[in-house]
């Protein structure tokens, strides 16, 4: 993959509407998950949540580190540690908020954010120095799904994976 096509891949993936994650992941050749149960994982019913915990995809250690560091920083309400997980020109594209670009702006945007958070991967891929993780999040380890996310990633010459874009949106609670 050429550098320009990698850039286009990251930009295109960052623009994937969250409502079509399963279809977009399949169209990009993404692994659906260990059991091919992506559609069930996007549901927030109690039965689907039980299946979700069994079908979560495991990640290579260098990608899993991104999720675990994100969880730790979010739980600690450490805006600087969160911002440091991003590329210098990274984006946060949160549900209902305007885009935020750059570590300083991300740190400021996250200054009052944080709390309980558990991240689970549905699928991932890497090619050279770009990649992505598709996933879901909860606010309790055994709780219902609270939302879904796409992290686009990049790294420089064997360095750590950094977040180029974090796109997330919440799942409305069942009534």
pTM for this structure?
A: 0.72
CA separation for the pair 146, 163 (Å, rounded): 21
Residue 31, in any domain of the structure? yes
Does residue 86 lie in a domain region? yes
- 94: domain CATH number? 3.10.450.50
Domain of 35? Answer: 3-170
Paired with 121 in beta bridges are 57, 135
In a domain, 121, yes or no: yes
Question: Can you give the pLDDT of all 175 residues of the chain as single tens digits?
Answer: 444 444 444 444 444 333 233 333 433 444 333 333 344 444 555 545 544 544 567 899 999 999 999 999 999 999 999 999 999 999 999 999 999 999 999 999 999 999 999 999 999 999 999 999 999 999 999 889 999 999 999 999 889 999 999 999 999 776 6
| Domain total in the chain | 1
* Separation in Å, CA 156 to CA 88, 160, 162: 12, 8, 9
Question: Whole-angstrom Cα distance, residue 89 to residue 15?
Answer: 16
Flag whether 175 is in a domain: no
Residue 165 inside a domain? The answer is yes
Nearest to 94 by CA among 12, 84, 39, 105: 105
């Amino acid at each position: 993959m050429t550098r320009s096509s990698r850039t286009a891949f990251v930009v295109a993936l960052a623009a994937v509407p969250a409502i079509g994650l399963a279809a977009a992941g399949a169209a990009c050749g993404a692994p659906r998950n260990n059991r091919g149960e992506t559609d069930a994982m996007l549901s927030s019913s109690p039965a689907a949540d039980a299946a979700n915990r069994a079908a979560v995809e495991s990640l290579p250690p260098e990608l899993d580190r991104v999720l675990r560091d994100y969880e730790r920083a979010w739980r600690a309400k450490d805006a600087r540690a969160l911002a440091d997980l991003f590329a210098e020109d990274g984006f946060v594209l949160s549900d209902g908020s305007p885009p935020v670009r750059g570590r300083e702006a991300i740190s400021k945007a996250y200054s009052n954010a944080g709390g309980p958070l558990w991240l689970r991967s549905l699928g991932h891929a890497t090619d050279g120095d770009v990649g992505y993780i598709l996933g879901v999040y909860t606010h309790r380890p055994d709780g219902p799904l609270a939302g879904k996310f796409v992290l686009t990633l990049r790294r420089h010459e064997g360095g750590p994976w950094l977040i180029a874009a974090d796109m997330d949106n919440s799942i409305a609670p069942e009534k």
